[in-house]
Amino acid sequence: MAILKIAKMGHPILLQKAKKVDDPTDPKIKTLVNDMLETLDDLGNGVGLAAPQVHVSLQVVIFETVSDDGKEANLITLINPKIDVLTRETSIDWEGCLSVPGLRGQVTRPNKIKYSGLDLKGNKIETIAEGFNARVVQHECDHLFGILYPHRMKDLSSLQFVSEAKHWVNRNE
Q: Judged by CB under 5 A, which stretch of 37-45, 90-98, 117-125, 150-158 contacts Ni ion?
A: 90-98
Nearer Cβ to Ni ion, position 43 or 128?
Answer: 43
Nearer Cβ to Ni ion, position 117 or 170?
Answer: 117
Q: Judged by CB under 5 A, which stretch of 11-19, 67-75, 97-105, 154-162 contacts Ni ion?
A: 97-105
Quick one: three-class SS letters along the chain?
CCCCCCCCCCCHHHHCECECCCCCCCHHHHHHHHHHHHHHHHHCCCCEEEHHHHCCCECEEEEEEECCCCCCEEEEEEEEEEEEECCCCEEEEEECCCCCCCEEEEEEEECEEEEEEECCCCCEEEEEEEHHHHHHHHHHHHCCECCCHHHHCCCHHHCEEHHHHHHHHHHHC
Number of residues located near Ni ion, criterion CB under 5 A: 1
Furthest-apart CA pair in the chain: how many Å? 50
Catalytic residue among 72, 130, 140, 173: 140
Q: Judged by CB under 5 A, which stretch of 12-20, 92-100, 107-115, 153-161 contacts Ni ion?
A: 92-100
**Smallest distance, Ni ion to C-beta of residue 139, A:** 6
Which residue from 4, 36, 79, 97 is in contact with Ni ion, where contact means CB under 5 A?
97
Nearer Cβ to Ni ion, position 54 or 120?
Answer: 54
140 annotated active-site:
yes
Site residues for Ni ion per CB under 5 A: 97
